[in-house]
Amino acid sequence: MAFKDEVVAAYQKIQDEICSSLEIADGKARFEEEIWNREGGGGGRTRVLQNGNVIEKGGVNFSAVHGKLPDAVKKAFKVESDDFFATGVSIVMHPANPFVPIIHMNIRYFEMDEQTRWFGGGIDLTPHYVIDTDARFFHHLLKQTCDEFDASFYSKFKATADDYFFIKHREETRGVGGIFYDRLKPDNTGLSFDQLLDFSVAVGNTFIPAYTELIDRNRDAEFTEQQQEWQYLRRSRYAEFNLVYDAGTKFGLETNGRIESILMSLPPLAKWTYNYNPTAGSPEADTLSKLKKGISWA
Protein backbone atom coordinates (compact mmCIF):
# COMPACT_ATOMS: atom_id res chain seq x y z
CA MET A 1 0.00 0.00 0.00
CA ALA A 2 1.31 3.44 -0.93
CA PHE A 3 2.06 5.70 2.03
CA LYS A 4 -0.61 8.22 1.07
CA ASP A 5 -3.17 5.40 1.00
CA GLU A 6 -2.18 4.50 4.57
CA VAL A 7 -2.79 8.10 5.59
CA VAL A 8 -6.18 8.11 3.88
CA ALA A 9 -7.25 4.91 5.65
CA ALA A 10 -6.08 6.23 9.04
CA TYR A 11 -7.90 9.53 8.59
CA GLN A 12 -11.12 7.89 7.46
CA LYS A 13 -11.03 5.70 10.59
CA ILE A 14 -10.55 8.78 12.77
CA GLN A 15 -13.53 10.46 11.10
CA ASP A 16 -15.70 7.39 11.72
CA GLU A 17 -14.69 7.05 15.37
CA ILE A 18 -15.12 10.74 16.18
CA CYS A 19 -18.57 10.88 14.57
CA SER A 20 -19.76 7.82 16.50
CA SER A 21 -18.46 9.19 19.79
CA LEU A 22 -19.98 12.64 19.24
CA GLU A 23 -23.40 11.14 18.50
CA ILE A 24 -23.21 9.28 21.80
CA ALA A 25 -22.06 12.39 23.65
CA ASP A 26 -24.83 14.51 22.15
CA GLY A 27 -27.54 11.91 22.73
CA LYS A 28 -29.96 13.24 20.13
CA ALA A 29 -28.65 14.41 16.76
CA ARG A 30 -27.14 12.22 14.07
CA PHE A 31 -24.60 13.13 11.42
CA GLU A 32 -25.82 13.62 7.89
CA GLU A 33 -23.26 12.50 5.31
CA GLU A 34 -22.68 13.87 1.86
CA ILE A 35 -20.19 12.22 -0.49
CA TRP A 36 -18.72 14.71 -2.93
CA ASN A 37 -16.29 14.73 -5.82
CA ARG A 38 -13.95 17.57 -6.63
CA GLU A 39 -13.67 18.83 -10.17
CA GLY A 40 -9.99 18.35 -10.89
CA GLY A 41 -9.51 15.24 -8.76
CA GLY A 42 -10.54 13.53 -5.57
CA GLY A 43 -13.36 14.23 -3.16
CA GLY A 44 -14.48 13.63 0.36
CA ARG A 45 -17.10 12.87 2.99
CA THR A 46 -18.78 15.82 4.65
CA ARG A 47 -20.63 14.98 7.85
CA VAL A 48 -22.71 17.59 9.64
CA LEU A 49 -24.66 17.38 12.88
CA GLN A 50 -27.25 20.04 13.74
CA ASN A 51 -29.72 20.97 16.48
CA GLY A 52 -28.59 18.37 18.97
CA ASN A 53 -28.83 18.32 22.75
CA VAL A 54 -25.31 19.70 23.01
CA ILE A 55 -24.10 20.58 19.52
CA GLU A 56 -26.03 23.29 17.71
CA LYS A 57 -23.93 22.81 14.58
CA GLY A 58 -20.83 20.77 13.96
CA GLY A 59 -18.96 19.14 11.13
CA VAL A 60 -16.43 16.33 10.80
CA ASN A 61 -15.04 16.42 7.29
CA PHE A 62 -12.68 14.08 5.46
CA SER A 63 -11.14 14.89 2.10
CA ALA A 64 -8.53 13.44 -0.23
CA VAL A 65 -7.95 15.62 -3.27
CA HIS A 66 -5.38 15.83 -6.04
CA GLY A 67 -4.68 17.76 -9.20
CA LYS A 68 -2.82 20.88 -10.25
CA LEU A 69 -1.85 23.62 -7.80
CA PRO A 70 -2.93 27.17 -8.70
CA ASP A 71 -0.06 29.63 -9.16
CA ALA A 72 -0.99 31.53 -5.99
CA VAL A 73 -0.68 28.37 -3.88
CA LYS A 74 2.57 27.35 -5.60
CA LYS A 75 4.00 30.73 -4.70
CA ALA A 76 2.81 30.49 -1.09
CA PHE A 77 4.27 26.98 -0.75
CA LYS A 78 7.47 27.98 -2.58
CA VAL A 79 7.33 24.96 -4.90
CA GLU A 80 7.82 24.55 -8.63
CA SER A 81 5.79 21.42 -9.37
CA ASP A 82 2.09 21.52 -10.26
CA ASP A 83 0.85 18.13 -9.13
CA PHE A 84 -0.35 17.74 -5.56
CA PHE A 85 -2.16 15.35 -3.25
CA ALA A 86 -3.74 16.46 0.03
CA THR A 87 -5.81 14.60 2.58
CA GLY A 88 -7.10 15.49 6.00
CA VAL A 89 -9.79 15.57 8.63
CA SER A 90 -11.23 18.89 9.71
CA ILE A 91 -13.58 19.41 12.65
CA VAL A 92 -15.46 22.36 14.14
CA MET A 93 -18.10 22.09 16.86
CA HIS A 94 -20.39 24.98 17.83
CA PRO A 95 -22.26 24.01 21.02
CA ALA A 96 -25.62 25.38 22.12
CA ASN A 97 -24.62 26.09 25.73
CA PRO A 98 -22.31 29.12 26.19
CA PHE A 99 -20.31 27.22 28.82
CA VAL A 100 -19.38 24.41 26.43
CA PRO A 101 -16.48 25.64 24.27
CA ILE A 102 -16.10 25.71 20.53
CA ILE A 103 -13.44 23.24 19.43
CA HIS A 104 -11.49 22.90 16.20
CA MET A 105 -9.18 20.19 14.95
CA ASN A 106 -7.41 19.62 11.68
CA ILE A 107 -4.94 16.89 10.75
CA ARG A 108 -3.58 16.80 7.24
CA TYR A 109 -0.96 15.40 4.89
CA PHE A 110 0.31 17.12 1.74
CA GLU A 111 2.42 15.55 -1.00
CA MET A 112 3.86 16.65 -4.31
CA ASP A 113 6.65 14.08 -4.68
CA GLU A 114 8.98 12.01 -2.46
CA GLN A 115 11.04 15.08 -1.62
CA THR A 116 8.14 17.50 -1.10
CA ARG A 117 5.67 16.21 1.46
CA TRP A 118 4.73 16.95 5.03
CA PHE A 119 2.19 16.70 7.84
CA GLY A 120 0.35 19.59 9.43
CA GLY A 121 -2.52 20.21 11.78
CA GLY A 122 -3.45 20.94 15.34
CA ILE A 123 -6.27 21.24 17.80
CA ASP A 124 -7.44 24.32 19.68
CA LEU A 125 -10.19 25.45 22.05
CA THR A 126 -12.33 28.58 21.85
CA PRO A 127 -14.40 29.01 25.01
CA HIS A 128 -17.12 31.64 25.10
CA TYR A 129 -16.26 31.86 28.80
CA VAL A 130 -12.71 30.90 29.75
CA ILE A 131 -12.84 28.39 32.61
CA ASP A 132 -9.31 27.97 33.92
CA THR A 133 -9.68 24.33 34.98
CA ASP A 134 -11.05 23.40 31.55
CA ALA A 135 -8.21 25.17 29.74
CA ARG A 136 -5.62 23.45 31.93
CA PHE A 137 -7.23 20.03 31.39
CA PHE A 138 -7.28 20.53 27.63
CA HIS A 139 -3.66 21.65 27.42
CA HIS A 140 -2.52 18.88 29.77
CA LEU A 141 -3.95 16.24 27.42
CA LEU A 142 -2.27 17.87 24.43
CA LYS A 143 1.06 17.95 26.24
CA GLN A 144 0.72 14.25 27.09
CA THR A 145 0.11 13.45 23.42
CA CYS A 146 3.08 15.53 22.27
CA ASP A 147 5.43 14.18 24.94
CA GLU A 148 4.94 10.63 23.66
CA PHE A 149 6.81 11.66 20.51
CA ASP A 150 9.12 14.54 21.44
CA ALA A 151 9.47 16.49 24.69
CA SER A 152 9.92 19.73 22.71
CA PHE A 153 6.75 19.40 20.61
CA TYR A 154 4.21 20.82 23.05
CA SER A 155 6.01 24.06 23.87
CA LYS A 156 6.87 24.71 20.21
CA PHE A 157 3.45 23.87 18.86
CA LYS A 158 1.65 25.74 21.65
CA ALA A 159 3.61 28.91 20.83
CA THR A 160 2.82 28.44 17.14
CA ALA A 161 -0.88 28.10 17.97
CA ASP A 162 -0.80 31.30 20.02
CA ASP A 163 0.70 33.14 17.07
CA TYR A 164 -1.50 31.54 14.42
CA PHE A 165 -4.88 31.81 16.17
CA PHE A 166 -4.47 35.54 16.76
CA ILE A 167 -7.05 38.04 15.52
CA LYS A 168 -4.67 40.86 14.65
CA HIS A 169 -7.31 43.50 14.01
CA ARG A 170 -8.70 42.95 17.52
CA GLU A 171 -5.40 42.17 19.26
CA GLU A 172 -6.79 39.05 20.92
CA THR A 173 -6.36 35.31 20.51
CA ARG A 174 -9.29 33.35 19.11
CA GLY A 175 -9.46 31.30 22.30
CA VAL A 176 -7.09 29.58 24.72
CA GLY A 177 -5.10 28.00 21.92
CA GLY A 178 -3.80 24.47 21.83
CA ILE A 179 -1.20 23.14 19.41
CA PHE A 180 -0.58 23.99 15.78
CA TYR A 181 2.13 22.69 13.46
CA ASP A 182 2.92 22.63 9.77
CA ARG A 183 5.42 21.07 7.37
CA LEU A 184 6.54 18.34 9.75
CA LYS A 185 8.93 15.97 8.01
CA PRO A 186 11.96 13.87 8.95
CA ASP A 187 14.57 16.57 8.39
CA ASN A 188 12.98 19.00 10.85
CA THR A 189 11.67 16.56 13.48
CA GLY A 190 14.05 13.59 13.50
CA LEU A 191 11.00 11.32 13.09
CA SER A 192 10.29 9.11 10.10
CA PHE A 193 7.17 9.63 8.01
CA ASP A 194 5.67 6.53 9.64
CA GLN A 195 6.28 8.08 13.07
CA LEU A 196 4.84 11.39 11.93
CA LEU A 197 1.72 9.56 10.77
CA ASP A 198 1.52 7.99 14.23
CA PHE A 199 1.78 11.47 15.76
CA SER A 200 -0.92 12.83 13.47
CA VAL A 201 -3.21 9.93 14.42
CA ALA A 202 -2.46 10.48 18.12
CA VAL A 203 -3.50 14.12 17.81
CA GLY A 204 -6.71 12.97 16.14
CA ASN A 205 -7.33 10.47 18.91
CA THR A 206 -6.97 13.20 21.55
CA PHE A 207 -10.11 14.94 20.31
CA ILE A 208 -12.74 12.68 21.86
CA PRO A 209 -11.35 12.33 25.41
CA ALA A 210 -10.72 16.07 25.48
CA TYR A 211 -14.06 17.27 24.15
CA THR A 212 -16.40 14.73 25.72
CA GLU A 213 -14.98 15.59 29.14
CA LEU A 214 -15.58 19.31 28.53
CA ILE A 215 -19.11 18.54 27.33
CA ASP A 216 -19.85 16.49 30.45
CA ARG A 217 -18.50 19.22 32.73
CA ASN A 218 -20.62 22.02 31.25
CA ARG A 219 -23.57 20.71 29.23
CA ASP A 220 -26.12 21.21 32.03
CA ALA A 221 -24.93 24.64 33.17
CA GLU A 222 -27.76 27.16 33.32
CA PHE A 223 -27.31 30.36 31.33
CA THR A 224 -29.08 33.67 30.85
CA GLU A 225 -30.12 35.50 27.70
CA GLN A 226 -27.27 37.94 28.33
CA GLN A 227 -24.77 35.08 28.44
CA GLN A 228 -26.12 33.73 25.17
CA GLU A 229 -25.71 37.18 23.61
CA TRP A 230 -22.07 37.05 24.68
CA GLN A 231 -21.81 33.62 23.06
CA TYR A 232 -23.04 35.11 19.78
CA LEU A 233 -20.43 37.88 20.03
CA ARG A 234 -17.64 35.37 20.61
CA ARG A 235 -18.87 33.34 17.64
CA SER A 236 -18.53 36.45 15.49
CA ARG A 237 -14.85 36.66 16.39
CA TYR A 238 -14.47 33.02 15.38
CA ALA A 239 -16.06 33.79 12.02
CA GLU A 240 -13.80 36.81 11.51
CA PHE A 241 -10.68 34.73 12.02
CA ASN A 242 -11.76 31.97 9.67
CA LEU A 243 -12.75 34.34 6.89
CA VAL A 244 -9.79 36.72 7.18
CA TYR A 245 -6.80 34.66 8.32
CA ASP A 246 -7.38 30.91 8.19
CA ALA A 247 -4.96 29.20 5.80
CA GLY A 248 -7.16 26.13 5.34
CA THR A 249 -10.09 28.27 4.22
CA LYS A 250 -7.88 30.09 1.72
CA PHE A 251 -6.38 26.83 0.41
CA GLY A 252 -9.83 25.33 -0.07
CA LEU A 253 -11.13 28.33 -1.96
CA GLU A 254 -8.02 28.67 -4.13
CA THR A 255 -8.01 24.97 -5.10
CA ASN A 256 -11.67 24.94 -6.12
CA GLY A 257 -12.78 23.07 -3.01
CA ARG A 258 -16.35 22.35 -2.08
CA ILE A 259 -17.73 25.60 -0.63
CA GLU A 260 -20.19 23.98 1.80
CA SER A 261 -17.40 21.92 3.32
CA ILE A 262 -14.98 24.84 3.47
CA LEU A 263 -17.45 27.13 5.24
CA MET A 264 -18.73 24.38 7.53
CA SER A 265 -16.62 26.04 10.24
CA LEU A 266 -18.89 29.08 10.46
CA PRO A 267 -21.35 29.22 13.38
CA PRO A 268 -25.10 28.86 12.81
CA LEU A 269 -25.78 32.22 14.44
CA ALA A 270 -23.46 35.08 15.39
CA LYS A 271 -23.84 38.77 16.18
CA TRP A 272 -21.79 41.90 15.66
CA THR A 273 -22.82 44.48 18.26
CA TYR A 274 -21.38 47.93 17.64
CA ASN A 275 -18.61 48.95 20.04
CA TYR A 276 -19.49 46.38 22.70
CA ASN A 277 -17.45 46.65 25.89
CA PRO A 278 -18.06 44.26 28.80
CA THR A 279 -18.59 45.61 32.30
CA ALA A 280 -15.39 45.86 34.30
CA GLY A 281 -15.01 42.91 36.66
CA SER A 282 -17.60 40.81 34.82
CA PRO A 283 -17.03 37.20 33.65
CA GLU A 284 -17.03 38.55 30.10
CA ALA A 285 -14.24 41.00 30.93
CA ASP A 286 -12.34 38.22 32.66
CA THR A 287 -12.56 36.10 29.52
CA LEU A 288 -11.20 38.94 27.38
CA SER A 289 -8.27 39.36 29.78
CA LYS A 290 -7.28 35.74 29.09
CA LEU A 291 -7.37 35.92 25.31
CA LYS A 292 -3.64 36.62 25.21
CA LYS A 293 -0.56 34.94 23.82
CA GLY A 294 1.87 33.19 26.11
CA ILE A 295 -0.43 32.07 28.94
CA SER A 296 0.87 28.86 30.48
CA TRP A 297 -2.07 26.45 30.77
CA ALA A 298 -0.35 23.08 31.03
| Residue spans per domain, the chain | 3-289
How many Cβ atoms are within 10 Å of 186's Cβ, its own excluded?
13
DSSP 226-244: HHHHHHHHHHHHHHHHHHH
Q: pTM above the 0.85 mark?
A: yes
pLDDT score of 255 more than 80? no
Largest Cα–Cα distance of the chain, in whole Å? 59
pLDDT score of 81 more than 80? no
Q: Kindly list the catalytic residues.
A: 104
pLDDT score of 110 more than 90? yes
What's the mean pLDDT when you consider all of the chain?
A: 94
3-state secondary structure of 289: helix
Name the percent of the chain lying above pLDDT 70.
Answer: 100
The per-residue pLDDT for 71 is: 76
Q: Which residues contact 59 (CB under 8 A, 6 or more apart)?
A: 46, 47, 48, 49, 90, 91, 92, 261, 264, 265
Number of H helices, E strands in the chain: 10, 9
CATH, domain range 3-289: 3.40.1500.10
